[in-house]
């Protein structure tokens, strides 16, 4: 004890070397497995050999004997050392464990350090598994540690290990260590890049970028580097700021920074920050699609508001003259089926935060297609020489409207209505050929429509081959009427006489009570080949009238018409006086008798028709 007291006095009397402490290490680290050998090593300076340095050992602050700079640990406790003229070392607490498996790991680390995990056991294991927060990390051999370089804050957590104890004649068992808490301290936080006054500066204004790292200690020295995209702007300076003197459109983009400790063992990157230089809007215009300002009713029309220059986002507003603001904020205004009500002046405004900018107004006109026109005739029937007015009118359609008049397929003339409405055409009836179907056609800039046909009947004067000329359905009605009259007459005659009407021109009817059979004999009729066809076919007929007993061909007036002029129907009815004159007649009576026997002729041209012209 006296010797130890002298040594302590000698050591205490010496001056320390620059206030440096002795360095104490334990191998293997605590905790120590029961039965395992552990050694403490005390060092001062690598420049001075430990052989010439005196080392003192302390357990629980009491001196203990050691072999120079080495001390074998015999039990748990707090150990310190002091060698040469260095100060006493920091204490190490040595713990002995009764567990079969223990995990040795440092309690605290700095980001960028290396984490070494060692799973120790006194048993012979085949393999070792390492876990972090219950998640398997890696499997090693039972003597191989797990090394994790450049640790981060995410490596903080509870670690454990397990050893498989394999025996030849028994079941393999797995032994787990207790959890060990490892804390990784951040010397500085993950940097954040910030822009002042804003990351959306107006064009021409200055911007300051600051890389904020927040070091754990004010003495910690950090280096900064700035980037735009993949291009370096400023490399490894101690200033955490980067200046943009006058922001322009070229300065828009994504920026980020890197922060590194001066020791170089830790590097962190910030998240990206978008700089969006704002440019006021200019060149706001309004266009129609399709590009014509004139839209057709019922079709789709789109109005598009465009901007020549300016940064997004851009909001749009729509206006209509007399209607105010429209509930639409997109760059396009769509009208799926335009009507006349959609016509008018439109304009739009665009705004990206610097105030609304208006476009010039656009006048949209809507053209209405013409509706099928209606043709009206001044009269349904006209005589030769009469003037007939034909008027054509489309009830709907944007002016000007052009009209064209037709007789059958032939163009008669043209007319126009510059302000809309009807157009008329005057027709002078020249002959029976002017009878038939008339129609008209209306047209404007976008469409054409045709009317239903209208029928005109023509009255032809006596002496002309053509009498009253009609067309269309009226002709069919007249043909049917004539045929019906002939059939009625035929059946009445048969009922009265009890026999068929005579078919021979020599056959006559005579009354027994009449003393003068020649004078009392009534004209007898013969009907041959009466045929009613469809509309448009030719009808042939023969109508013969016999007078008295004269059966000569001259006494019989008949005419068979077999001329086919397309849709033409002829019927010729002629009567002739008997060859024997009564003795009491005079010439005046003869003239009257000749007049009484009439010729009838039916003529149609063009559409199927029939007509009657009595000539007295």
Q: How far is CA 572 from CA 129, 545, 558, 579, 613, in A?
A: 128, 11, 7, 22, 10
CA distance 577 to 550: 9
Q: For residues 105 and 182, is the Cβ–Cβ distance under 8 A?
A: yes
What percent of the chain clears pLDDT 90, i.e. is strictly above it? 35
d(CA 412, CA 418): 20
Domains of the chain, start order: 20-98 (2.60.40.10), 100-186 (2.60.40.10), 193-275 (2.60.40.10), 285-367 (2.60.40.10), 374-459 (2.60.40.10)
Residue 108: the pLDDT is 76
Q: Do 576 and 545 touch, CB atoms closer than 8 A?
A: yes
Asked if 53 and 69 touch (Cβ cutoff 8 Å), the reply is yes
Query: For residues 188 and 368, what is the distance between their CA atoms, to the nearest angstrom?
Result: 75
pLDDT of residue 125: 62
pLDDT at 568: 40
Q: What is the pTM of this model?
A: 0.42
Q: Answer whether 350's CB lies under 8 Å from 316's CB.
A: yes
Token pair for 487: 């059939």
Residue 78 is predicted with a pLDDT of: 94
Distance, CA of 272 to CA of 287 (rounded, Å): 39
pLDDT tens column, 200-259 = 999 999 999 999 998 888 888 999 999 999 999 999 999 999 999 999 989 999 999 999
Kind of pairing, strands 180-185 and 108-110? parallel
Q: DSSP letter for 132, please.
A: E
Burial 94-107 (b: 16+ CB within 10 A, else e): bebbebbbbbbbee
CA distance 477 to 467: 17
In the chain (616 residues long), the average pLDDT of successive 10-residue segments reads 39 53 85 83 68 82 84 90 89 87 84 88 77 93 86 91 72 83 89 94 94 88 95 94 93 95 85 92 89 79 91 90 84 89 92 91 91 92 90 93 93 91 91 92 93 89 54 53 65 51 39 39 40 39 41 40 38 40 43 40 39 37
| C-alpha distance from residue 139 to each of 26, 103, 136, 177, 610 (Å) | 26, 14, 8, 15, 116
Q: What is the pLDDT of residues 513-558, one digit of tens each?
A: 344 433 344 444 433 333 343 334 344 333 433 444 444 444 333 3
Q: Check: CB of residue 451 under 8 Å from CB of residue 440.
A: yes
CA dihedral in degrees (492, 493, 499, 504; nearest 10)?
A: -140
pLDDT at 144: 86
Structural tokens at position 174? 């797995």
For 489, which DSSP code?
Answer: H
């Amino acid at each position: 004890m006296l010797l130890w007291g002298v040594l302590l006095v000698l050591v205490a009397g010496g001056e320390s070397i620059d206030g440096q402490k002795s360095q104490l290490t334990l191998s293997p680290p605590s905790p120590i497995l029961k039965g395992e050998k552990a050694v403490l090593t005390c060092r001062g300076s690598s420049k001075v050999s430990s052989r010439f340095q005196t080392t003192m050992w302390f357990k629980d602050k009491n001196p203990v004997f050691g072999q120079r700079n080495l001390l074998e640990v015999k039990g748990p406790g707090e150990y310190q050392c002091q060698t040469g003229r260095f100060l006493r070392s920091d204490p190490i607490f040595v713990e002995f464990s009764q567990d079969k498996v223990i995990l040795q790991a440092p309690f605290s680390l700095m980001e960028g350090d290396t984490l070494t995990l060692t799973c120790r056991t006194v048993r012979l294991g085949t393999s070792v598994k390492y876990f972090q927060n219950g998640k398997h990390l890696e499997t090693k051999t039972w003597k191989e540690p797990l090394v994790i370089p450049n640790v981060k804050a995410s490596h903080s957590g509870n670690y454990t290990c397990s050893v498989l104890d394999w025996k030849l004649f028994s079941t393999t068992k797995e032994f787990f260590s207790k959890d060990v808490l490892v804390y990784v301290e951040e010397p500085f936080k993950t940097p954040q890049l910030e822009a002042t006054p804003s990351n959306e500066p107006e064009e021409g204004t200055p911007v300051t970028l600051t890389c904020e790292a927040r070091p754990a200690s004010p003495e910690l020295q950090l280096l900064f580097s700035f980037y735009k995209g993949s291009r370096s702007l400023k490399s490894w300076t101690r200033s955490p700021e980067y200046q943009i003197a006058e922001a322009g459109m070229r300065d828009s983009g994504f920026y980020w920074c890197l922060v590194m400790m001066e020791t170089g063992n830790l590097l962190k990157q910030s998240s990206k920050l978008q700089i969006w230089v704002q440019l006021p809007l200019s060149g706001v215009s309004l266009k129609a699609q399709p590009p014509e300002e004139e839209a057709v009713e019922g079709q789709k029309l789109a109005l598009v508001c465009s901007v020549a220059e300016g940064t997004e986002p851009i909001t749009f507003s729509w206006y209509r003259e007399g209607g105010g603001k429209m509930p639409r904020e997109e760059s396009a205004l769509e009208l799926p089926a335009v009507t006349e009500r959609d016509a008018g002046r439109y304009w739009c405004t665009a705004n990206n935060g610097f105030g609304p900018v208006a476009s010039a107004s656009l006048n949209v006109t809507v053209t209405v297609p013409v509706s099928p026109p209606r043709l009206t005739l001044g009269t349904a029937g006209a005589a030769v020489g009469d003037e007939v007015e034909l008027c054509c009118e489309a009830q709907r359609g944007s002016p000007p409207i052009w009209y064209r008049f037709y007789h059958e397929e032939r163009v008669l003339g043209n007319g126009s209505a510059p302000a809309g409405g009807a157009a008329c055409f005057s027709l002078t009836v020249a002959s029976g050929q002017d009878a038939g179907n008339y129609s008209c056609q209306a047209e404007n800039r976008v469409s054409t429509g045709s009317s239903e046909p209208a029928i005109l009947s023509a009255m032809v004067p006596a002496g002309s081959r053509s009498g009253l000329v009609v067309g269309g359905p009226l002709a069919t009605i007249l043909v049917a009427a004539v045929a019906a009259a002939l059939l009625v007459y035929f059946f009445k005659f048969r009922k009265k006489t009890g026999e068929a009407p005579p078919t021979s021109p020599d056959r006559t009817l005579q009354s027994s009570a009449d003393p003068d059979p020649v004078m009392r004999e009534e004209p007898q009729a013969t009907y041959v080949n009466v045929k009613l066809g469809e509309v448009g076919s030719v009808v042939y007929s023969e109508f013969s009238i016999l007078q008295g007993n004269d059966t000569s061909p001259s006494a019989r007036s008949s005419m068979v018409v077999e001329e086919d002029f397309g849709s033409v129907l002829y019927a010729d009815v002629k009567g002739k006086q008997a060859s024997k004159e009564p003795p009491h007649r005079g010439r005046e009576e003869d003239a009257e008798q000749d007049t009484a026997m009439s010729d009838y002729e039916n003529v149609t041209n063009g559409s199927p028709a029939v007509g009657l012209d009595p000539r007295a």
